Amino acid sequence: MNPSDPDVAEAIARSGHVRSIKRVTTFKGDVDRPDGTSAQATIEVWDYGPGVARWQVWAKDEDGRVTLGGPADDLQVAIAATRWWGVDR
């Protein structure tokens, strides 16, 4: 059996053990720093599903600095709202 993502999310939600379900897609990239160097970052795009504030972006650089953008109902807005200075300094 290979259940779909919505089926899995619904089953987890029904368990009563998890309050907020989101799908997380992970990317890797390099962020440029003001001193001319770059650092690898892990970027997660959180998708809470249809509704208000569906998208949120989290990033962590190789030095352990973390940043989180405010949630938004549009992915591009969520990316733009991310405080990238948290990982590019």
In-domain check, residue 2: no
The mean pLDDT of 42-54, rounded to a whole number, is: 89
Position 75 pLDDT exceeds 90: yes
pLDDT band at residue 18 under the 50/70/90 scheme = confident
In-domain check, residue 8: no
In-domain check, residue 41: yes
What is the domain extent for residue 71? 22-86
Q: What is the pLDDT of residue 2?
A: 59
In-domain check, residue 14: no
Q: What is the pLDDT of residue 15?
A: 87
Q: What is the pLDDT of residue 14?
A: 85
Q: What is the rounded distance in angstroms from the CA atom of residue 46 to the CA atom of residue 50?
A: 12
Comparing CA positions, the residue from 58, 55, 56, 54 lying closest to residue 42 is: 58
In-domain check, residue 4: no
Q: Decide: helix, strand or coil at residue 75.
A: helix
